[in-house]
Amino acid sequence: MEFEKLKPPEEGSKIEYADGRLIVPNNPIIPYIEGDGIGRDVVPAALKVLDAAAEKIGKEIVWFKIYAGEEAYRLYGSYLPEDTLKAIKEYRVAIKGPLTTPVGGGYRSLNVTIRQTLDLYACVRPVYYIEGVPSPLKNPEKVNLVIFRENTEDVYAGIEWPRGSEEAEKLIEFLSTLGVSIRKDSGIGIKPISEFATKRLVRLAIQYAIDSGRKSVTLVHKGNIMKYTEGAFRDWGYEVAKEEFADKTVTEDELWNEYGGKQPEGTVVVKDRIADNMFQQLLTRTDEYDVLAMPNLNGDYMSDFAAGLVGGLGVAPGSNIGDGMGVFEPVHGSAPKYAGQNKVNPTAEILSGALMFEYMGWKEGSEIIKKSVEMTIKSGTVTYDIHRHVGGKLVGTREFAEAVVENMHSL
């Protein structure tokens, strides 16, 4: 593989992909992007924890620094150089910090571009409670969700034109021939949702629920209003369940009509909820929900909301998964006001690494990371975001990661 400016490490081996499975060596080369803002705080801290966890299970990660965001701009004159996309494609598994997206002004989000260019079609975010993290809920331990958000379509696909542009005017004119009247001073955005993208997302969510013994998959949509996009998402979701997982799934209707409300052993219940209702259900009937699958925009809102239920963005990890490829990143952004202050919580970045380990088949390592983070927070060693609510021993980003590694040694 030829890169313009990158020099891959000489040590380590590549992760391969064959017959639908990753083949992970004991010393994989893993590209990482530090990112913008607090990326420079949380990423180095997280890598130290991941190194320690890898060592504990007899493995070694060979890190390969690649660039996106401001650092990339300084080096390449581009915020997302071709080298970076090539490296992720070649090495298949990568971890990143947050990247800043300027609001308005013709910038497309780098995160969205990475997900779409590499066809990382599912944004998968587990949301569960870690003891010791302050939560606005009375019983936060009831939250145990995995959100599957479609990553490539919806109004997020970046198909939009500003007010007064030639394209917007053309579209407004064209739509008038279909009998649709749109104000001339409108900006226009398009919301495509396809059967293909919906089905592969829901397929992944159902397969995940089956593999991990989860009880239900809920399709979250606004199909009552947007019938042919969000409503179709629901219909195609049910179709996947029926056509591909008939012996492993029951619908909510079947559950009540045929099984008297008692879930048959070894099945996953597939149900759907309208998005606005889903928000309040997550608060009022939290433990009735398990795996959630939804289009892009719903997923964006709901992921942050769900993260808030268990203590906020500092602890919420995430992943972007395609076929044989994954990029792991925290849910939070680059929080520029805290950049370089050794202040913010690296937990979300560290737990994104735990997800990466799991994806690589290093389950034991993943558990070790999660346990050490939990021990650290439970012991009261915390960063400012947790400290301001519950007190304890206030530490910086680096020191928190060091405490996690220390606790790991005691496991």
Cite the active site residues: 156, 222, 276, 300
Q: Which of residues 21-40 bind ligand NAP (CB under 6 A)?
A: 38
Total number of residues that touch ligand NAP (CB under 6 A): 18
Among 71, 329, 358, 374, binds ligand NAP (CB under 6 A): 329
Select the span of 120-128, 241-249, 328-336, 365-373 touching ligand NAP (CB under 6 A): 328-336
- Under DSSP, is residue 260 helix (H, G, I), strand (E, B) or coil? coil
Which H helix or E strand runs over 239?
helix 232-244
Binds ligand NAP by CB under 6 A, chosen from 59, 221, 332, 370: 332
> Which residue's C-beta sits nearest to ligand NAP?
333
How far is Cα 74 from Cα 304, in angstroms, rounded to an integer? 31
Tokens of 157: 């696909």
Which stretch, 44-52, 72-80, 188-196, 326-334, contacts ligand NAP (CB under 6 A)?
326-334
Question: Of the two residues 133 and 348, which places its CB atom closer to ligand NAP in the complex?
Answer: 348
Instruction: Phi first, then psi: give them for residue 204, nearest 5 degrees.
Output: -60, -40
Site string for ligand NAP, 378-397 (x = CB under 6 A): -------x------------
Q: Which stretch binds ligand NAP (CB under 6 A): 165-173, 214-222, 225-233, 341-349?
A: 341-349
Distances from the Cα of 87 to the Cα of 4, 31, 82, 118, 213, angstroms: 11, 7, 9, 11, 34
Residue type, 249: T
Under the phi-then-psi rule, with left for phi > 0, alpha for psi from -120 to 50, and beta for the rest, what region is 218? beta
CA-based max dimension of the chain:
71
- Pick between residue 118 and residue 240 the one whose CB is nearest to ligand NAP: 118
Residues 229-258: x where in contact with ligand NAP by CB under 6 A, - otherwise, as a string: ------------------------------
Q: Cβ 172 to ligand NAP, closest distance in Å? A: 29
Rounded CA separation 284/107 (Å) = 39
Residue 214 Cβ vs ligand NAP, minimum distance, rounded to whole Å: 25
Q: Which of residues 305-324 bind ligand NAP (CB under 6 A)?
A: 313-314
d(Cα 63, Cα 50) in Å, to the nearest integer?
11
Closest listed residue to residue 37, CA positions, set 112, 106, 102: 102
Contact region with ligand NAP (CB under 6 A), list: 10-18, 50-58, 330-338, 402-410:
330-338
Token representation of residue 331: 């849910």
Supply the minimum distance, in Å, between the C-beta of residue 42 and ligand NAP.
6
The answer to whether the beta carbons of residues 291 and 216 sit under 8 Å apart is: yes
Among positions 118, 146, 344, 404, the unique one binding ligand NAP when judged by CB under 6 A: 344
- What is the rounded (10 degree) CA torsion for 403, 404, 406, 408? 170
The order of strands in the sheet holding 93-96 is: 62-66, 29-33, 93-96, 325-330, 317-322, 122-128, 144-150, 291-294, 216-221, 268-274, 249-251
Q: What is the DSSP secondary structure assignment for residue 212, as one 8-state letter?
A: T
Which of the stretches 20-28, 92-100, 267-275, 362-370 binds ligand NAP when contact is defined by CB under 6 A? 92-100
Smallest separation, CB 254 to ligand NAP (Å): 38
- Dihedral in degrees, nearest 10, Cα atoms 361, 363, 364, 369: 120
Does 295 contact ligand NAP by CB under 6 A? Answer: no
CB of 62 to ligand NAP, least distance (A): 24
Closest CB 183 distance from ligand NAP, rounded Å: 28
95-134 residues in contact with ligand NAP (CB under 6 A) are 98-101, 111
Q: How far is the CB of 372 from ligand NAP (least distance, A)?
A: 18
Contacts 24+ apart (CB under 8 A), 337-340: 338/37, 338/38, 338/41, 339/36, 339/37, 339/38, 339/40, 339/41, 340/38, 340/40, 340/41
Sole window of 17-25, 112-120, 151-159, 343-351 interacting with ligand NAP (rule: CB under 6 A): 343-351
Residue in the block written with tokens 């013709």: 106
- Shortest CB 22 distance to ligand NAP, Å: 23
User: Which residues are at the interface with ligand NAP (CB under 6 A)?
Assistant: 38, 42, 98-101, 111, 313-314, 329, 332-335, 344-345, 348, 385
